[in-house]
A and B are shown apart, each in its own frame.
Chain A
Amino acid sequence: MDPNLLKKLNAARRERKAVIAVTDLGDGRDRLVHKGDAVAGDLGAALEAAFRTGKSGLASVEGREFFLNVHVPPARLVIIGAVHISQVLAPMARMAGFDVLVIDPRTAFATPERFEGTDLADDWPEDALKERPLDAFTALVAVTHDPKIDDFPLIEALRAGCFYIGALGSKKTHARRVDRLGEAGLAASLIGRIAAPIGLDIGAANPPEIAVAILAQVVAALRQRTPAAVPARDEA
């Protein structure tokens, strides 16, 4: 492996760019191809297919064997609320391979000391999400249970089609939330996508255990794409 390729590959991964490391298994030569780079012929077609599916694999082109290692940006997790659960969930989710962003306008909560190593925005979600909009490759977890903070990002997440949307709060809190989102003009079927009570039903009893329940539900949504089929954690 070319040392420069290793450096460029790691830089692209840090910048959330989609790239493929192409290795000629015959002579060991390699190069990095960015999404959108023009590559001619059958290899170009194989690269295009690999970017589309996100799957790494071998490609035989004109009698030569290439290995295409696809690196697409990891799924993102946006956490609304720099609370105790988030202090555990953020590093756990980063270990699981997610790009994590924590948003909380309450500067007493959103301190670098409480979130060492985690990307943190001490702004209102209205402002923070303007710079980094939600998308289908993002999971949104709202854990402040303050409607002033949680409602806007929940609505944005439903509109952007986030692959997972979860909100902390009791059944009563969630019922009131459903009413508010309905009044804001969102269809009941859309509001039904919100996982609430949040997290898998594993009997989680404290913030770290609740973080495990939430992360497991996010992974299930990412890998199985059936969040509705996963039983919800029963929250008091």
Chain B
Amino acid sequence: MTTETNLETLDPLATAESWMLAGRDVAVATVVETWGSAPRPVGSHLVIDAEGNFAGSVSGGCVEGAVISEAADVISSGEPRMLDFGVADETAWRVGLSCGGRIRVYVERVG
């Protein structure tokens, strides 16, 4: 295992491109807005393929599971989605942010 490989898996956009070039269906999730103490800044990416493999992060682990399952729908439909996560809404019980912040995540298919 070379350091080069490690670094590529740490760069979600590079991972998305190599998955795409390998013929895999890919979705890109992006943090577009944050309120309060959000774990990852605006612009952070999580990339997901149709099998649920993923790289990068949008929250440091709190909501990735939910984003990955939404990404499966986005990959099959091709329609982008805007997801809201926070402690104030009902989803908080399932996948809320323990830090008390709120984030908006845009999920889109590549191609």
Beta-carbon contacts of A14-57 to B below 8 Å, as 1s and 0s?
00000000010100100000000000000000000000000111
With both beta carbons as reference points, the residue of chain A lying nearest to B44 in the complex is identified as: A56
Beta-carbon contacts of B94-111 to A below 8 Å, as 1s and 0s?
000000000000101111
Specify which of B3, B13, B30, B111 is in contact with A2 (CB 8 Å cutoff).
B111
Beta-carbon contacts of B1-17 to A below 8 Å, as 1s and 0s?
01110110010011011
Residues 1-48 of B contacting A (Cβ, < 8 Å): 2-4, 6-7, 10, 13-14, 16-17, 20, 28, 30, 32-33, 41-43
Specify which of A6, A23, A95, A116 is in contact with B20 (CB 8 Å cutoff).
A6
Please state if A117 and B3 are interface contacts (CB–CB under 8 Å).
yes
Is A136 interfacial (CB-CB < 8 Å)? no
Interface of A, helix, strand, loop or mixed by DSSP: mixed
Specify which of B13, B14, B80 is in contact with A28 (CB 8 Å cutoff).
B80
Interface size class of A (residues with CB under 8 A): 20 to 34
Contacts of A25 in B (CB 8 A): 32, 80, 82, 106
Please state if A117 and B32 are interface contacts (CB–CB under 8 Å).
no
Please state if A56 and B42 are interface contacts (CB–CB under 8 Å).
yes
Please state if B3 and A1 are interface contacts (CB–CB under 8 Å).
no
Residues 98-122 of A contacting B (Cβ, < 8 Å): 116-117
Chain A-chain B contacts (Cβ-Cβ < 8 Å), number: 59
CB distance from A36 to the nearest CB of B (A): 21
Please state if A69 and B30 are interface contacts (CB–CB under 8 Å).
yes
Is A73 interfacial (CB-CB < 8 Å)? no
Interface of B, helix, strand, loop or mixed by DSSP: mixed
| A13-B13 contact given A3-B111, A28-B108, A117-B3, CB 8 Å threshold | yes
Contacts of A116 in B (CB 8 A): 2-4
CB distance from B79 to the nearest CB of A (A): 8
With both beta carbons as reference points, the residue of chain B lying nearest to A96 in the complex is identified as: B10
Please state if A95 and B109 are interface contacts (CB–CB under 8 Å).
no
Q: How far, in angstroms, from A116 to B2 measured CA to CA in the complex?
A: 8
Please state if A58 and B14 are interface contacts (CB–CB under 8 Å).
no
With both beta carbons as reference points, the residue of chain A lying nearest to B4 in the complex is identified as: A117
Q: How far, in angstroms, from A232 to B46 measured CA to CA in the complex?
A: 37
Q: How far, in angstroms, from A117 to B111 measured CA to CA in the complex?
A: 31
Known: A1-B109, A25-B82, A116-B4. 12 other contacts (CB 8 A): A1-B110, A2-B111, A6-B17, A7-B17, A10-B17, A56-B41, A56-B43, A58-B32, A91-B3, A116-B2, A117-B2, A117-B4
